[in-house]
Structure 1
């Protein structure tokens, strides 16, 4: 069904053009309400969830979804092809990243006190493990966007509300399949260290540029029946040709993909720092426990042992005699 914008695009319409989109509103509510409930449950258990994770989930995640479906992007998605492309790119990359930085899985564990909930078991299932494997999720991500613009999928999504809803769900789910494991520690195999996940985020930023470049260099009209290419839409387009509109669509895909690449790398790097800090705290705690276990035995000197006797290996500090820690805190005297 054709739903052209009510008037030409201007700087003012970026703030004033809104419409009610049932799919966008329902999805936003379904994403926001459980997260708020988990925040309250975690707070009651004494867990203070970081404010920046909450802001990312609400503003960058749910907020962008609501804006591109009910805001100016949703209003003009059938008038300008580049608006439709921007909607696809934002829902497929920006929104999933905002939701993933909010860390809903870890919040669920904090709110319930368990990592064995139904959702955790689903995430650990074989099929999900296969889908979140970096090679598979990257192909799904890039292949899905290419299918929108180089098959009849995108045209059908514009014409049919049902197919359009399926497209939004696909973009959200596939985006989360890639982004969520990249930002989490325990969803990928053991070889996916923070350094490896940083590389994966860097590679994804490069690979996400492919659909935008291909759309920009396409010599044929990818959406011959796009509603905005009809004569009825000419007064709304301010003279923008179909050819340039398609070029701008590729530019929109490229700009969103590369624009979110740096924040994505930053988020993965921050997770890397947090992981190193947690590992250091765990190591320090282990050392403290070992020292506490050895201290009582060291306080009671054996009978006949005098302070002026030469220090033996047994008398040396435990961190010098423990083979596992000698290299870190000093070499053991042979």
Structure 2
């Protein structure tokens, strides 16, 4: 790098960083033991983070914004088609998909969580849990595949059925494989260069959000969802897979808490050299807090999943018992009709 660039107090680092990055980096001169060192800092200076800013500090991240609006809009359009046709669609499913599902996705990417997710690792971790657990569960409970099968024209419906019955869908929804992807992805994210790349590139950052939702959907949709998807297994096995997620989050959280190496260390340490250094917490304490959030939130949301799955299991058993009662009643009525009258 040319010496003039190193000595420039605010020279942008254009070649090493994606200009679309969420926090466009620049160099500042920093003198250590009489030697001038370039220091990475940020153009966007955010005020001190507080809990209130999660709900009041909003922005527009184009890709997640468009995705949330279009997906929610298509779902509501499908509900409107059913309503005009005179069919009934449960309100609970609509609320689960649009409000809890896409609403949580919108909140996680456009609210203060999205504004500070590259500034504080703990904020990113909250966002991670919402995108990988809350959003997939809510979308699955909304049964969008069932809605699509009931509203699409004949040809698109055949295409959708072909996709659902394809070999790729069967492989991706195979429960052990989906569980492995769900478990391995966070380790790959935080213990490889992937997370550093997401801090440096807006595109990688947004694709990480989509990836978290997609992997969560692959794992939880066949377990919790209502849609007729391949890979569905019996309720005992579903409960087992759900319970297995609890120690996984705890182990990953404890590992992050005990790390001596900072996750995204170059990025977060550089932020402390800029104007936000006056309020940014110690990066090691911040990482310890992030690991604790992953541990605690993972267990809490996992218990919610278990409660939802157990409720579905009970309802399924009660419905099966009612069907069996009706079958026995019909057999008994048929036997009475076929029985010869007394004295016949």
Q: TM-score range by the shorter chain?
A: 0.7 to 0.9
Are 1:306 and 2:332 counterparts? no
Alignment counterpart, residue 261 of structure 2, candidates 200, 206, 220: 220
Distance 1:228 1:79 in 2: 10
Which residue of the partner structure matches residue 310 of structure 1? none
Whether the 8 Å CA contact 2:268–2:283 is kept in 1: the answer is no
Change (3 A) 1:75 1:237: farther
Which residue of the partner structure matches residue 27 of structure 1? 67
Distance 1:120 1:205 in 2: 34
SS of the residue corresponding to residue 197 of structure 1 reads helix
Provide the aligned length of Structure 1 versus Structure 2: 302
Distance 1:124 1:43 in 2: 28
Gaps (5+ residues) in structure 2?
1-20, 24-43
Which residue of the partner structure matches residue 324 of structure 1? none
Whether the 8 Å CA contact 1:82–1:252 is kept in 2: the answer is yes
Change (3 A) 1:51 1:127: same
Q: Scaled by the length of structure 2, what TM-score is found? A: 0.78
Are 1:50 and 2:90 counterparts? yes
Which residue of the partner structure matches residue 287 of structure 1? 328
Change (3 A) 1:134 1:295: same
Are 1:245 and 2:272 counterparts? no
Whether the 8 Å CA contact 1:212–1:253 is kept in 2: the answer is yes
Which residue of the partner structure matches residue 321 of structure 1? none
Which residue of the partner structure matches residue 209 of structure 1? 250
Counterparts of residues 1-334 of structure 1 (less than 5 Å): 1-3=21-23, 4=44, 6-111=46-151, 117-184=158-225, 186-187=228-229, 192-227=233-268, 229-233=270-274, 235=276, 238-298=279-339, 300-301=340-341, 306=343
1:112 CA drift (Å) = 5.6
Cα distance per residue 1:188-212 (max 9 Å; x no partner)? 557x222221222111233233322
Which residue of the partner structure matches residue 327 of structure 1? none
Cα distance per residue 1:216-267 (max 9 Å; x no partner)? 1111122122256423446366251111111122122223322211211111
SS of the residue corresponding to residue 225 of structure 1 reads helix
Q: Scaled by the length of structure 1, what TM-score is found? A: 0.81
Structure with greater proportional strand content: 2
Larger Rg: 1
Distance 2:274 2:108 in 1: 21
Gaps (5+ residues) in structure 1?
308-334
Which residue of the partner structure matches residue 331 of structure 1? none
